[in-house]
Amino acid sequence: MNLFIVGFKNCGKSTVGKAVAELMQMDFVDVDDVIIKRFGKELTCRQIFTEVGGQAFRELEEQALLEICEKNNQVVATGGGILSSTGNATLMQKSGTICYLQIPWDKLVPRFTRKVYPAYIQGDNPIQELFALYQERSPKYAQLANFQADASCGSSDEIAKQIVEKLSGQ
């Protein structure tokens, strides 16, 4: 079984995913890391997205997910746009359990103001663009997930414990 952690950018998928993997004695894999490795250049995902464009990046993401799903016993932190392809959703459902790491918008906004905005945000009002994307993606994450975890309260270790408890109850 694999555990896929989905959610909006900067919600804590990688940090919490590492903590869950440690608690469950599973391997941790970040889809972004696999994309970077497969791309073969010393670039960030943001730089790859800018270089190849959105559609090609999503294809790289899908290839990375296929590679990841060849193995089991992993906690997988996905990219925020992983659901851009319906094939990705189907693949994750067939390969494991999906946790939506949910965080309210007002708790998420400060995490963006401290960081560089994603490459796909191009307009004059990045927070407004991100909010529109958040509203579009959140229901998709919720619909896809087997369960949700609240990423707005507690440390990454506390959130990881919440996830492990929910998995134990399934």
pLDDT tens sequence for the chain (170 residues): 999 999 999 999 999 999 999 999 999 999 999 999 988 888 888 899 989 988 999 999 999 999 999 999 999 999 988 988 889 999 999 999 999 999 999 999 888 765 567 777 777 888 899 999 999 999 999 999 999 999 998 899 999 999 999 998 86
Strands (E), the chain: 2-6, 27-30, 74-77, 96-102, 147-150
pLDDT at 112: 78
pTM for the complete prediction?
0.93
Q: Does a structural domain hold residue 34?
A: yes
Q: What is the CATH number of the domain that holds 101?
A: 3.40.50.300
Strand partners, 99: 5, 147
pLDDT at 135: 96
In a domain, 118, yes or no: yes
Instruction: Say if 110 falls within a structural domain.
Output: yes
Residue 114 pLDDT: 53
Q: What is the pLDDT of residue 85?
A: 84
**Displacement of CA 166 from its chain's centroid (Å):** 19
**37: containing domain:** 2-165
Whether 70 is in a domain gets the answer yes
pLDDT for res 86: 85
**Rounded distance between C-alpha atoms, residue 163 and residue 20, angstroms:** 7
Torsion of Cα atoms, 71 then 75 then 79 then 81, to 10°: 80
Looking at the structure of the chain, the number of domains it has is: 1
- Identify residue 142 by its one-letter amino acid code: A
Contact 170, 147 (CB under 8 A): yes
How far, in Å, CA of 99 to CA of 82, rounded?
Answer: 13
As a whole number of angstroms, the distance between CA 141 and CA 158 comes to 21
